[in-house]
Structure 1
């Protein structure tokens, strides 16, 4: 293998994980054109197409996926060793300010940050649980965690969880009394819990998709909240239908407290991502957090 191929493989790993040339370039500190050129050079050197490219998405081909499976563990070990050497002489410390939804803090962030502060006593973590998409620079946060679809295009985003699905759920008694919606249009006859993420914004419209048909429904009901936990609680008490992520109601569905409706209209989409400003210097503490949170499934 040529010496330059080793560096090119690191670029391939970044593109494959980010699924986007722009985000990969920001992660590597390169221009998008340089990343594109590197990938063309690597594919020409190997003689195999590694990536499928479209106007919006990048995905690995079957040979690319096989290479990624072999490549990732080795480069992860190298990166971990380099980080270990780096922190021996410059132990990460300081305050990390993080904004995330309550669900993201509970299911994704908390198990990781508790280990982080134990391993590095010089690191302190401030958590702010908000439903709205926060302006990191204005509110002086180092990073945030949100669903991919809510992120601005100018941030660097790192996946920290598997693909997500929305779930429309209601209590069994409510559905027995009001009937089961079979199509998103049927929601016009149902009480639905609204969500307003920004106090100055509009109520979130529910999005559905099936067989290539996309439907956006504006709903109405007895409650408008900015916290999915409240929407779920209202649904449990029989006030109507809540529209939240599948992970948030997994226990309720398993226990039968809530039943799912319109499941065939809720396809998977990009899950939780940690995001931070693209032009910002990443501290060693934030880099450690990213490395520990990064989804590698």
Structure 2
């Protein structure tokens, strides 16, 4: 993260710990500076994103490419388990402004994005992840994207922090460094 690297170079006394997790937590209770609550301030820290559905060439040699999201019910889909909710991510699509959620099944379920990417690369099934994880592999030809017309964009990553809590100068510097412009 170039913004964090610059911040650390400019302010060597500032210590930064970033925890990235696919679970919902009360970060304030866990003594973190940022979380999602009803009185939160949201700061955009990245561009709009979209989900990408992709599989390997080897997988699609053995299975027909899905044409609609409902075709995924006939595929071996690599599922993402959401740790705090205990459930599986329902794959989200859209057509003509109408949302469509598809609960997919498959042989492999994981709560680690890197393992899901590896499984897709190994031809174990179809993955659905944010574009920042799969776009480079699609561009390199290592994965084949499907259902692109069904995958809408969404606001992207945000940093949330409580409005009721006085932010430290170091945290204010971090927010300014991460803010997406």
TM-score, length-scaled by structure 2? 0.93
Superposed displacement of residue 253, structure 1? 0.7
1:277-296 aligned within 5 A:
277-296=162-181
CA distance 1:154–1:175, change in 2 (3 Å): farther
The answer (yes or no) to whether the contact 1:136–1:276 under 8 Å persists in 2 is no
- Larger helix share, 1 or 2: 1
The answer (yes or no) to whether the contact 1:193–1:223 under 8 Å persists in 2 is yes
2:17 pairs with one of 104, 121, 126: 126
- What is the match of residue 139 of structure 1? 30
- What is the match of residue 156 of structure 1? 41
The answer (yes or no) to whether the contact 2:55–2:145 under 8 Å persists in 1 is yes
1:1-297 aligned within 5 A:
110-143=1-34, 152-296=37-181
Q: Which runs of 5+ in 2 are unaligned?
A: none
Aligned residues between the structures: 181
CA distance in 2, matches of 1:197, 1:157: 22
SS in structure 2 opposite 1:238?
coil
CA distance 1:152–1:210, change in 2 (3 Å): farther
CA distance in 1, matches of 2:115, 2:151: 21
SS in structure 2 opposite 1:117?
helix
Superposed displacement of residue 198, structure 1? 1.7
Superposed displacement of residue 243, structure 1? 0.5
The answer (yes or no) to whether the contact 2:47–2:156 under 8 Å persists in 1 is yes
- Higher Cα Rg, which structure: 1
Q: Which runs of 5+ in 1 are unaligned?
A: 1-109, 145-150
CA distance in 2, matches of 1:219, 1:227: 17
CA distance in 2, matches of 1:153, 1:164: 24
Task: Compute the RMSD of aligned alpha carbons.
Answer: 1.5
